[in-house]
Amino acid sequence: MTTHRAWRLGADVDTDQLAPGAYMKFGIDEIARHCLERVRPDFAAAVRPGDVIVAGPNFGIGSSREQAASALVALGLRAVIAPSFSGLYFRNAYNVGLLLLTCPEAEAIQEGEAIAIDLDACRVVRADGTALPCEPIPDFLRDMVQAGGLLNLLKRRLADGTLKPNPMRA
């Protein structure tokens, strides 16, 4: 299993913190450069591909802006681990290929801790070997993350013939 560096955030991280409204007129790369700047000014410049966010409950509350999840993908985040997520954020995240792990004990993970994600067992493994259980992730959501989002998954399924072009007209 690959290890990932944890970035700790508190509860109730909203979409305006992830994708500040002042930058919504720009492309996702510019929005990502300002991700979390109000609560973690160092985040966007210091985060590395494969890092994870570990947060408190209610991650992604606020508006339905998809850019809040896309900014984390653009920065190379592997996953967000939290006890709970906003329903809209949850769907947007998987649509853009961002893995979310609902883990009741997420707040036990420390800032900078190296953790591993065991998707097969639906758990996060801490540096000391302690395993934190997560809610199971349905196969179709895992497929979306693996494909890089819903659009990429649909394109792949059209190309390999497992999805017919307009199944409603069959």
Mean pLDDT of the region 107-119: 96
**What are the CA-CA distances from residue 137 to residues 38, 43, 88, 99, 155 (Å)?**
31, 27, 17, 9, 22
Per-residue model confidence (pLDDT) at position 137: 96
Q: Report the CATH number at residue 111.
A: 3.20.19.10
* Residue 120 maps to a domain: yes
CA distance 106 to 113: 12
pLDDT in tens, 56-103: 999 999 988 999 999 999 999 999 999 999 999 999 999 999 999 999
pLDDT at 168 over 90: no
Q: Which domain holds residue 8?
A: 3-160
Q: What is the pTM of this model?
A: 0.93
Count of the separate structural domains present in the chain: 1
* Residue 167 maps to a domain: no
* Residue 92 maps to a domain: yes
pLDDT tier at 138, thresholds 50, 70, 90: very high
